[in-house]
Amino acid sequence: MRLKVLFHDNCFDGACSAAVFTRFFKERLHPDAQISYEGLAHKAGGAPIDAQVFSGDENVIVDFRYSQDPRLTWWFDHHVSAFQQPGDEAHFRADDSGRKFHDGTRKSCTKYLADVLAERFDWRAEELSDLIDWAELIDGAQFTSPEQAVKLEEPALQLMTVLEANRDPGFIPRVIEALQHRPIAEVVAEPWVQAPLQPLLEKHQSNIEAVRRSAKLEKGVVHFDLADEGLDSINKFIAYLLFPDARYTLWVGRGEKRTKISIGTNPWRPELRKHDLSKLAEQYGGGGHPVVAAMSFGPNEVEKARGIAASLLTELQSAGDAPPRER
C-alpha cells in the first residue's frame, strides 16, 4: 500500500510532524507501506489544496490546513486558520473516521500529533522525545532569549534554518526519513546537511544587517521591507533582538515564487499583544496563529503587498488600551 505524507513545507514543525506520523504508520499499521512525501505551501489568495497531491492509497496532511477531498484519510493541524475554504469546518465536524484532529490552542503540531497518537492509538516512541520537545519550543517560540533564537548554535535551530530556506524537493523528505530514527545532532552533522547549512549561516549574518539597516520601530511595531533585496524568508526573531521592547513585527519580502507579508508578536513581551494576528491575515487570504501569521501573493504583486502592509501597520499601531488576549 502507498502512503502519501503531505506536510507544511519549509517548516521544522512540519518536517517533525511528518517524521512522527510516518514512524507511527509503519510501526502500528502498515510496516511495508511505500511512503512518499510532498510539502504544501500557502498560495496567493488562499487557493485550495491541489487535488493532484492526494495520490496515495492513504493520504495524510500534517501541520497544514484542511481539505474536503475524500481521499484525505488522516489530518492533524494546530493552526487557528485551518479552515479556509467554505464548508471546511462543517465537513471536518461531520467526519466520523476518528482520524482527523485539530486543536488551535496547541503550540506545535508535532507535540499535538504525538499526544493524539498516544491517547487514541496507544503508540509512543520515547526516543523521539527530543525531536518533539524541539518542535514545541521552536513553533511555540519558547526560546530563552532573542539571542538563543538568532545565534543558531543548537543543532535543532541549524536544521530549522536549512528547512526554512530549502528549495531542493528531495532534501526535506530525506530529513524526514532520517529524523525517524536518528538524533537531530547526528542528522545535522551529515555532509548533505552541512553543505547547504554553512552558506545559510553566512547569509543569516547579512540578513541581520539588512534588517538593522531597514527596520524602524514606530508605535510599538518594528516594520521593514526586504522585497527589493529578494528575501522572503529570514529568521523571524531578528527584529526582537534589535528592538527588544517591540510589540509586533511586520515586514514584506519577495522570492522567486511569492511576495510575502509576515506579522508576529514579540514572544518575550506577550502581555503587549492586543490583536489576533491570524484574523488579520485571513482578511487577505493568509492565516496562521493569534501570535504569528503570514499572507502570500504573486511574485509580481509587490505593490499590492506593500499597500496591504501599510494598512496592517496602521491597524497594529492602533493597539489602544484594551487588555491583551491570552496567548
Quick one: pLDDT at residue 327? 31
In this prediction, residues 107-129 reach a mean pLDDT of 97
Q: How many domains does the chain have?
A: 2
Cα(260)–Cα(276) distance, integer angstroms: 19
How far apart are alpha carbons 72 and 250 in whole angstroms? 34
Q: What is the pLDDT of residues 220-229, one digit of tens each?
A: 999 999 999 9
Q: How confident is the model at residue 227, as a pLDDT?
A: 96
Domain co-membership, 22 together with 134: yes
226 and 84 share one domain: no
Instruction: Please check whether residues 220 and 132 belong to one and the same domain.
Output: no
Question: What CATH number is given to the structural domain containing 91?
Answer: 3.90.1640
Q: What is the model's pTM?
A: 0.84
Residue type, 211: V
Strand 58-62: give its sheet, edge to edge.
34-40, 2-8, 58-62, 74-77, 100-102
Residues 295 and 166 in one domain: no
Same domain, yes or no, for 148 and 22? yes
Residue numbers of the domain that contains 249: 215-317
Segment 44-58, tens digit of pLDDT: 666 789 999 999 999
Single out the residue in 159, 193, 227 at which a domain terminates: 193
Give how far Cα 17 sits from Cα of 6, 14, 39, 128, Å: 10, 5, 12, 11
CA–CA separation, 3 vs 61, rounded Å?
A: 11
Asked whether residue 180 falls in the same domain as residue 251, the answer is no
Domain presence at residue 209:
no
In which residue are the cell numbers 527596520 written? 215
Which residue's entry shows cell 547579512?
Answer: 206
